[in-house]
Amino acid sequence: MGNKIRARHLMMKAGVSVVPGTKDAVDDVDEAKVFAENIGYPVIIKASAGGGGIGMKVAHCREELVTTFGSTRQMAGSAFGDSSVFIEKYLEEPRHIEIQILADSYGNTIYLSDRECSIQRRHQKLIEEAPSPIMTSELRAQMGETAVKVAKAIGYVNAGTVEFLYSRGDFYFLEVNTRLQVEHGITEMVTGIDIVREQLRIAWGERVDFMQEDICINGHAIECRINAEDPLNDFAPSPGKIRGYRSAGGPGVRVDSGVHTGYTISPYYDSLISKLCVWERTRDLAIARMERALYEYVVVGVKTNIPFHKAVMRNPDFRSGNITTAFIEDHNILEFVEDIVKSEAEKGDTLASAIEAKDKKVAAITAAVYAYVSMAQKMQR
């Protein structure tokens, strides 16, 4: 399934809907222009061997297609050793929704939960939540059963994720991630199932020891990927040494991280600092808990995307669940990020001083006070 063109062929053969696109690799820009004009712009050019949002570019017209076609092939060859690309119709107002599955070697395949992954930059996920705000029991069953169908069609054995694009009532197969996803933790939080444990049990040759009807969704979970990057500079990486570090905590808060004060963020690898996850009984309460956790989270020495996450959590459309993969651009989120960065400059100086003084108690109290005051002020507006 690592080859997206081959994966599309397998899904079409299995009767699974895929996004309208070319059946095979497109090697010539003239061929690309003919296809794009027949199906209609916008279109998206994808590297067949791509992943992680790399090797994907949208073209809204012929001129953009001519420009991006060659550069996408070049990027694909450089990043993946395979320059082949294909073209798909770029769907209107798409949402990125994925289904977590478990499949053992005895033919047992179940789906755990859905995840909404539409908040992205450069086709790379930044915020995920489980379940999706638009999910109903009927839609979850349809997408879940399709995910199981996909897994069985390829004889899949492992924990994995089947990804879909959802647009205006229809959903289309996107790809299979044949591994544990970064965002698996929020599915664990709403299902109570340790996916890492189940993956190891499957690899050991054991059976999945529960049935589909045993899976229950409890509450709502959100993950913010805390990255060392500058959202006001096109999310450019911000490598360097972390001079002070204070992560969020408390009931319903989970932080998966490997960094600490004195840790150096390398310019050569992914800029992920941590995965900040929260759980609550409802989506509204989960958003409120995430806002509090973000206000407690302090990283000194490198720029982070924490202000971006704060801006998203405050956005009325996000809070109402009205999101697509173009959310950042459509809502001018970066303008609000700039306002947050300016308004919190004083807070940042205070917390940085507390942390750099190596007084953890003072830092914790300072962060909590700022979080409480900020939330109280917002409630009064």
280 by DSSP, 3-state: which? strand
- Is 56:44 a contact under the CB 8 Å cutoff? yes
Provide CB contacts within 8 A for 185, sequence distance 6+: 221, 223, 254, 256, 275, 277
CA distance 295 to 297: 6
When the pLDDT of each residue in the chain is averaged and rounded to a whole number, the result is 91
Task: List the chain residues with pLDDT less than 50.
Answer: none
Q: What is the DSSP letter of 21?
A: B
**3-state class (DSSP) for residue 322:** coil
Q: Domain 95-214 class?
A: alpha beta
Q: Is 180 exposed, middle or buried (CB count within 10 Å of its CB: 0-12, 13-18, 19+)?
A: middle
pLDDT at position 261, please?
95
The DSSP symbol for 118 reads E
Q: Which CATH architecture has domain 20-89?
A: 2-Layer Sandwich (3.30)
- DSSP-derived letter for residue 205 is T
- Does this model's pTM top 0.85? yes
Predicted local confidence at residue 155, as pLDDT = 95
Compute the distance between CA of residue 63 and CA of residue 72 in angstroms, rounded to an integer.
14
By annotation, the residues acting in catalysis are: 179
Q: State which fold the 220-380 domain adopts.
A: D-amino Acid Aminotransferase; Chain A, domain 1 (3.30.470)
Residue 145 identity (one-letter amino acid): E
Reference 181, options 121, 132, 133, 113; nearest CA is: 113
**Would the CATH topology of 20-89 be identical to that of 220-380?**
no
Instruction: Write down the domain spans for the chain.
Output: 20-89, 95-214, 220-380
For residue 42, cis peptide bond before it (omega within 30 degrees of 0): yes
The pLDDT assigned to 321 comes to 97
For residue 321, give the DSSP letter: T
